[in-house]
Amino acid sequence: MKKWLIRLMIIFIPLLAWIIHFLVTPLHINKSDLAIEIEPGSSLKAIAFQLVDEKILNEPWRFVLLSKALGQSTKLRPGNYNLNPNITPYQLLKSFVEGRATEGSITFIEGQDFNSMLDKIKANDNIKKTMKLYDTKAIASAVGIPYESVEGQFFPDTYYFSRNTSDIEILKRAYKAMQKKLDYEWARRAEEVPYKNSYEALTMASIIEKETGKSIEANLISGVFIHRLSIKMKLQSDPTVIYGLGKKFTGDITKKDLLADTPYNTYTREGIPPAPITMPGLISIRAALHPTKTEALYFVGKGDGSHYFSTNLSEHNSAVRKYQIK
């Protein structure tokens, strides 16, 4: 046998054995959330690195090599997949190529409260209901939320899942998504923001979410609230009053409502409320962490989703008469 052929075999046979071993060896995925979303337009390389980031693979290159060797590098389909923890790389690739995406979905929307989320979960026939009583303390414990309130702890998005995925698993995914987004944005926050921690920032983001009619104004509304805090002025946000009133709110906010003291009433109490009042989206989170510097202290809705901003009470009262009082 020629020497070059022997050398080739010395190189090729171990390489082939290495690839085959990789193909058939279960991954033993050590993560609680076994769902992964492949976004439309993702390249093979991007998918491989995503699998590493999400702790499904240890390194990306064997998966890339496997896909190319089998002629599947351009055939991976976008979608949301639930993975078996003992899936092999070959089975993983096959799932992506065959598009074995998940079967159910649920959408949580910015500005919804937690009770609205629960109503959606209860109404979704593809979700397995595991909790007899949807008690918030039990939910916080099951999901791993370290706060008394679960409000605002879930990221608004569409979540795809296999049929009979449990309600708690859905909530865990949404909670982990919020923590991932919040941690990322908190690490990149503006230096001047006054929050003690990311939870206070999330609470402020929830107020901004309820106050903002047009996303282009979110950072400016944030700036107004930060300005108020800086001069020890109360936040005076109507949505916090409404949230604190709960079922007592009749639909039209009154002077009596503004004076009804609750932990969330920012007309009667100083500083940031004790917990979020709704589920904020990414725009509101970023606005809370990157407020626009402004001298404005007041804003009033103009009826089209936008606001008129004022630097003093006299100007604000004129704007209220113009845009609000009929």
Write down the pTM of the prediction.
0.73
* Segment 74-96 mean pLDDT: 84
Q: What is the spatial distance between Cα 227 and Cα 173, in angstroms, rounded to a whole number?
A: 35
Q: What are phi and psi of 104, to 5 degrees?
A: -120, 165
33 pLDDT more than 80: no
Q: Work out the number of other CB atoms within 10 angstroms of the CB of residue 42.
A: 17
Q: What is the pLDDT of residues 117-171, one digit of tens each?
A: 999 999 998 888 988 778 888 899 999 999 989 999 999 998 877 777 889 989 9
Residue 152 covered by a domain: yes
Residue 13 covered by a domain: no
Tally the domains of the chain.
3
* Segment 37-45 mean pLDDT: 84
Residue 191 covered by a domain: no
Whether residues 205 and 179 fall in one domain:
no
With cut-offs at 50, 70 and 90, classify the pLDDT of residue 97.
confident
Residue 16 covered by a domain: no
With cut-offs at 50, 70 and 90, classify the pLDDT of residue 10.
low
Whether residues 133 and 45 fall in one domain:
no
Residue 190 covered by a domain: no
Question: What pLDDT sits at residue 45?
Answer: 92
CATH number, domain of 61, equals 3.30.1490.480
Which of residues 265 and 70 earns the better pLDDT score? 265
- Supply the range of the domain harboring residue 93: 21-98
* Segment 255-279 mean pLDDT: 95
Question: What pLDDT sits at residue 261?
Answer: 93
Whether residues 309 and 202 fall in one domain:
yes
Whether residues 291 and 312 fall in one domain:
yes
Which amino acid would we find at residue 130?
Answer: T
* Segment 274-284 mean pLDDT: 97
Q: What is the spatial distance between Cα 122 and Cα 261, in angstroms, rounded to a whole number?
A: 33
270 pLDDT more than 70: yes
Nearest to 189, CA basis, from 176, 177, 178, 202? 202
Q: What is the pLDDT of residues 245-261, one digit of tens each?
A: 988 888 888 899 999 99
Question: What pLDDT sits at residue 3?
Answer: 61
